[in-house]
Amino acid sequence: MITQRKKLSGNGMWESSRMMLPEHVLAINANSHENKAKIKPILYGNELEVIYGKISESYTNKTEITLVLFDRFEDTRVIGVVERVDTISRKVRVDGEWFNVKDVIGVE
């Protein structure tokens, strides 16, 4: 025996509807994007010493360094030689661009 559901009985009208308002689509996409966000890792003494040591080594020896910068969605890698270190504002300049040291989560 085959049972047929009528479109207007029960919740059939809404179940068969596939239309979504543009506002709902935007809200769903924004929510899924926010769910992919990461939390910045907390760096402790030894890890910070290694980062500062590598930055200092790149600055004094003019060697290339790769800084891993934290981003909520995708970490960024900056490759180059540290040209300047500003200890007051806690920034480093690599290939003409300034970066906050607080955003650095690793070095390679």
Domain count, the chain: 1
> Considering the domain boundaries, does residue 66 fall inside one?
yes
Please report whether residue 19 resides in a domain: no
Whether residue 10 lies inside any domain: the answer is no
- The residue segments making up the domain with residue 64 are 45-107
Check which CATH number belongs to the domain holding 93 and give it.
Answer: 2.30.30
| pLDDT score of 6 more than 60 | no
User: How far lies 79's CA from each of 57, 67, 84, 93, 95, in Å?
Assistant: 14, 6, 15, 11, 8
Q: What is the mean pLDDT of the chain?
A: 83
Does residue 3 sit within a domain?
A: no
Structural domain includes residue 64: yes
The arithmetic mean of pLDDT across residues 30-42, rounded, is 76
Q: Is 4 a member of any domain?
A: no
Phi, psi of 105 (to 5 degrees): -115, 0
pLDDT tens digits along 42-85: 988 899 999 999 999 999 999 999 999 998 888 899 999 999 99
In a domain, residue 17? The reply is no
pTM: 0.66
Residue 58 lies in a domain: yes
CA distances in angstroms from 88 to 67, 70, 74, 100, listed in the order given: 20, 21, 28, 11
Contact 68, 106 (CB under 8 A): yes
